[in-house]
Structure 1
Amino acid sequence: MTIPANRRRFLGLIATAPLGVAGASTAARAAQAVAPVSPTPVPPPAAVALTDDERRRLTDFPWLARYAEDNARITAAATPVKLVFMGDSITQGWPDKHPAFFAAEGRVCRGISGQTTPQMVLRMMADVIALKPRAVHIMAGTNDIAGNTGPMTLQQTQDNLAAMAMLAKASGIAVLLASVPPAARYYWRPGLDTVTPIAAINQWLASYAATHGHTFVDYHGAMQDGAGGMRPGLAYDGVHPTEAGYAVMEQVLSPILAAKGFS
């Protein structure tokens, strides 16, 4: 069969055309070398520097180890305990500023600086119930407001305070619920409104104590300056009491302890 001239020219062009990208055969494309990809190594995350307190929260959130040795000593010796003081730095600093008040027989301090009510709830069994006291003095809420272990609502603080009171009452331990002392500001949380939430917690504490047969101890009323802050001379930083501040607290508490038979 004779191939027309125009088709012969077309076939000739195909036969003599150079192989480009579009015209390369499948085999030729497969034969092309692929440059190896060198993955960029991902550097490990930088080590996070933790404070001692942050590290402790990761391993012992409520800090049960803080008083474990002393608790074991008390229980082993069957030492009679009249009153355990559960709280934060305001409670912890009390025997340091006024050791004579805690020299009274049967008074035990279980305050830990910076603690919030979620931490205290977890300490109740070891630091209070196991010691079999006649009464417990609970003063907490300052660090909840400050958000020391994270943001908290008023309801969450109330629930934790109620839980501690319930644990004590179920164990036959009388409950003294102390007001949150006044503070116009928290130096470690600048700009935070402290007056409003302190007032709300204290109002709830007074109501809860009256409803459930507990004793409300109102330090706030005796220490506040009329605007929600501490009276001059009663706190060295606006929050933590001076010796004079603790003296005022003792003037409020001592008659209550005497009336209840816990002095």
Structure 2
Amino acid sequence: MKRYLVCFFLSVFLSGCAGFKNRYPSEKKVIECHTDWGKKHYLKRIRKFRKRPLNYGDIVMLGNSITEEGRDWKAKLGVPNARNRGASGDVTEGVLLRLKEIIHFKPKMIFLMIGINDLSNRCSHKAMSSPEYVGYNILKITKKIHRKIPDTKIYLQTILPTSHEFMKDDIDAVNSIIKSNEKNGTYEVIDLNAVFLDEEGLLRSDLTYDGIHLNVKGYETWVDVIKPFLDIE
């Protein structure tokens, strides 16, 4: 009997360890649209997420470098359970692969912004950088989250503008897909793009340090937009 109990608890422990490991992408997985630097940084972030997993009911900031560089979202938003799940260089395929952790811990809210790297990176398959493909993948992310954890509120933020005019049409096309599919009910749109635009339809120069990433004022502006949504139950 004693031997049986030892074997039983050992099997439960080992299955739990395997389940924990499977919540995160394999380090052998290659993501098409990652740059060489992005591939290395993605693995670095995944290792960090493993060491510091989410808690049940967290508020998750999910995205790429623009989210990651927000760093301490707890302090920015003034809530103790805001967690940073940004990964610099990440693309929509990368987010899809790291949804298991998020789905397992059933966040209260998710604030998602992703897609700018898909549009700007030179993917091996050119179609994967098209606005249509990127928009489809963003919708795929929201549908998967909503299907698995329907009680989690998903706030889908439009892709921010950049100071590069050649990217404007593609960004606008993806954001149009985001907005036109809100009626399907899996997410609510927060139109950050409109707030960050200058008179030429590009990223306001007072909110960025390089034409893409945000400065202190840029993050303050972002927080001003999304903070009211934290009070909605």
User: TM exceeds 0.5?
Assistant: yes
- The residue aligned with 1:252 is 225
Gaps in structure 2 of 5+ consecutive residues: 1-34
- Tell me, in whole angstroms, the C-alpha distance in 1 between the residues paired with 2:57 and 2:74: 17
- Tell me, in whole angstroms, the C-alpha distance in 1 between the residues paired with 2:155 and 2:36: 31
- The residue aligned with 1:42 is none
1:241 pairs with 193, 214, 224, which one? 214
What is the SS of the residue equivalent to 2:61?
Answer: strand
Asked if residue 175 in structure 1 is aligned to residue 151 in structure 2, the reply is no
What is the SS of the residue equivalent to 1:166?
Answer: helix
1:112 pairs with 87, 96, 102, which one? 87
Name the structure, 1 or 2, with higher relative contact order (CA <8 Å, separation 6+): 2
- Tell me, in whole angstroms, the C-alpha distance in 2 between the residues paired with 1:240 and 1:133: 26
- The residue aligned with 2:163 is 184
Percent identity for Structure 1 against Structure 2: 22
Q: Which amino acid aligns with 2:58?
A: K
Deviation at 1:99, TM superposition (A): 5.9
Deviation at 1:57, TM superposition (A): 3.2
1:155 pairs with 132, 135, 149, which one? 132
- Tell me, in whole angstroms, the C-alpha distance in 1 between the residues paired with 2:113 and 2:71: 15
What is the SS of the residue equivalent to 1:109?
Answer: strand
Q: Which amino acid aligns with 1:229?
A: L
Aligned residue runs from structure 1 range 1-20, under 5 A: none
Deviations 1:139-190 (A, max 9, x none): 01110110265442222212211111012111122211001111132xxxxx
- TM-score, structure 1 as length reference: 0.66
Deviations 1:56-105 (A, max 9, x none): 838x779633411111xx4xxxx443311110000001125x66225512
Gaps in structure 1 of 5+ consecutive residues: 1-52, 186-191
Per the alignment, do residues 148 and 139 of structure 1 end up closer, same or farther by CA in structure 2, a change over 3 Å counting?
farther
Deviation at 1:241, TM superposition (A): 0.8
- The residue aligned with 1:65 is 47
- Tell me, in whole angstroms, the C-alpha distance in 1 between the residues paired with 2:79 and 2:134: 31
Per the alignment, do residues 156 and 70 of structure 1 end up closer, same or farther by CA in structure 2, a change over 3 Å counting?
same
Per the alignment, do residues 55 and 176 of structure 1 end up closer, same or farther by CA in structure 2, a change over 3 Å counting?
closer
Aligned residue runs from structure 1 range 92-131, under 5 A: 92-95=68-71, 100-102=75-77, 104-126=79-101, 128-131=102-105
Per the alignment, do residues 56 and 250 of structure 1 end up closer, same or farther by CA in structure 2, a change over 3 Å counting?
closer
Per the alignment, do residues 102 and 156 of structure 1 end up closer, same or farther by CA in structure 2, a change over 3 Å counting?
same
What is the SS of the residue equivalent to 1:177?
Answer: strand
Per the alignment, do residues 246 and 153 of structure 1 end up closer, same or farther by CA in structure 2, a change over 3 Å counting?
same
- The residue aligned with 1:31 is none
Asked if residue 164 in structure 1 is aligned to residue 141 in structure 2, the reply is yes
- Tell me, in whole angstroms, the C-alpha distance in 2 between the residues paired with 1:169 and 1:99: 24
Deviation at 1:194, TM superposition (A): 0.5
- Tell me, in whole angstroms, the C-alpha distance in 2 between the residues paired with 1:55 and 1:146: 14
Structure (1 or 2) with the greater helix fraction: 2
Contact 1:87 1:139 (C-alpha < 8 Å) held by counterparts: yes
- Tell me, in whole angstroms, the C-alpha distance in 2 between the residues paired with 1:119 and 1:62: 13
- Tell me, in whole angstroms, the C-alpha distance in 2 between the residues paired with 1:161 and 1:104: 26
Count of residues in correspondence between the two structures: 194
Deviations 1:89-138 (A, max 9, x none): 00001125x66225512211100001111111101112x11222012111
What is the SS of the residue equivalent to 1:84?
Answer: strand
- The residue aligned with 1:215 is 188
- Tell me, in whole angstroms, the C-alpha distance in 2 between the residues paired with 1:255 and 1:148: 37
Deviation at 1:193, TM superposition (A): 1.7
1:144 pairs with 118, 124, 127, which one? 118
Asked if residue 90 in structure 1 is aligned to residue 72 in structure 2, the reply is no
- TM-score, structure 2 as length reference: 0.74
